Amino acid sequence: MPPLVDSAALSGLALFAIVLTFASALPPPAPTLTFASLIAPAPPLRHDACAVWIAAPHTPCFDLTDTPCAPDTMPPALTDAFSMGGAVDTSHSMVIDDTMGGKGSRYGASEESVTALALAASARHARLAAAAAAAGSYHALAASLSATGFHDRKDLLRIALLAVNASRPGGLAALAPAAVFGSMSPWIEAELLALGLDAVTTVEYNTLNYRATSITTLTPDQLATNIADGTHTPFGLAISLSSFDHDGLGRYGDPLSPSADLDIMAALADCILAPHGVLVVSVPVGSDQLVWNMHRRYGPARLPSLLAPFLPALDPSPLIPLVDASSVLGWDSDARLSQDRPFTSSYEPVFILSPLDQAPLHTDREL
């Protein structure tokens, strides 16, 4: 049996300690980490987060007009908030109009195409599981992909889902209902169906015509309404792959908001996820940057705030084959937090998280 953690796993866990330490200005933790040392610097969970998110506007601009509505420039009145008082570089721009000139984007998928995607996903999962067994763990497999200097973020997500599936009694199906936040093609939904879930909800600003009976689609407006009127069933599992970094920038017609990314993460922890739910999320990581209106990149200034409502979700256990202590996959160096790279390059580790007030606190186990 491989050791519970290796140096790569410790490096991944150090990320959580680093970003939480930035948030609180506490001294860095000792080299031997425990869940207690990760919990201690964390600010309390915002219990008004759900009310804040529900009250925020969610109607996309293309539902209000049929003229071009993706903003070409950052509104001067919001510059200080978007840049966090100058801590986030906003000197670059790459304007993208995914509202299709104000008409709104529309994406579709047939029942047959979703079935085909799920079958392909099952075969891919078998290959990745075999590769993880050969590498010693899912984390080791992810680290080997990152060591090449480039990793496929889709494969990192698949490895993360396989790790969560292996770590939970009953697998991912026990976490139902599940949701995908941000979708232009139902490939993530198909990954979840291939891992035993019977149904998936997709939350997306754009108009979706997914005709598979196993997929339900909601707009953020509809989700907010469901939460407000008490008809929302909290998700046991939520997936967001490079989606929240776009929130509030208007690229997809979403209302402009400097805090939209932080607000959805806080709301997920507060009420969108079920108690002990799991969030699998990726965002671009590097030196802090906002490229208008393309995306955000998260570094020492903003990443702590994004992760603040959460803790690592994977509990290390010698009884679970292939699952080790790391809840961040694809992390290869702590220097990534300050590394200045071209804004068009993407480095996106995958975080496996549970809400701060709901995560199991295994404070007696050293990692």
Q: How many CA atoms lie within 13 A of 188 on its CB side?
A: 27
Greater confidence, 173 or 27?
Answer: 173
Closest CA to 181 of 125, 96, 265: 265
Position 33: which residue type?
A: L
9 pLDDT exceeds 60? no
80 pLDDT exceeds 90? yes
- Do 41 and 21 form a contact (C-beta atoms < 8 A)? yes
122 pLDDT exceeds 80? yes
Closest CA to 354 of 283, 258, 253, 274: 274
Most confident of 20-29, 125-134, 342-351: 125-134
- Residue 246: phi, psi to the nearest 5? -90, -15
185-230 pLDDT, tens digit per residue, is 999 999 999 999 999 999 998 888 899 999 999 999 999 999 999 9
Work out the number of other CB atoms within 10 angstroms of the CB of residue 207: 16
Residue ranges per domain, the chain?
A: 7-355
Using pLDDT thresholds of 50, 70 and 90, give the confidence band for residue 316. Answer: low
Using pLDDT thresholds of 50, 70 and 90, give the confidence band for residue 151. Answer: low
15 pLDDT exceeds 90? no
Give strand pairing partners of 312. Answer: 353
27 pLDDT exceeds 60? no
pTM of the model: 0.84
State the pLDDT at residue 275.
Answer: 86
Position 123: which residue type?
A: A
State the pLDDT at residue 45.
Answer: 53
46 pLDDT exceeds 70? no
DSSP 138-159: HHHHHHHHHTTT---HHHHHHH
- What is the DSSP code (8-state) at residue 89? B
Greater confidence, 11 or 266?
Answer: 266
- Do 189 and 114 form a contact (C-beta atoms < 8 A)? yes
Q: Give just the sign of the alpha carbon dihedral 300, 302, 304, 306.
A: negative
Place of tokens 């068009």: 344
Provide CB contacts within 8 A for 180, sequence distance 6+: 188, 189, 192, 200, 201, 202, 203, 238, 239, 240
Mean pLDDT of 290-297: 94
- Do 243 and 142 form a contact (C-beta atoms < 8 A)? no
Q: How many CA atoms lie within 13 A of 346 on its CB side?
A: 15
State the pLDDT at residue 88.
Answer: 96
Mean pLDDT of the chain: 81
232 pLDDT exceeds 70? yes
32 pLDDT exceeds 80? no
260-292 pLDDT, tens digit per residue, is 999 999 999 999 999 889 999 999 988 899 999
- Residue 329: phi, psi to the nearest 5? -110, 140
Q: Which residues of 275-285 are buried (b: 16+ CB within 10 A; e: fewer)?
A: eebbbbbbbbb
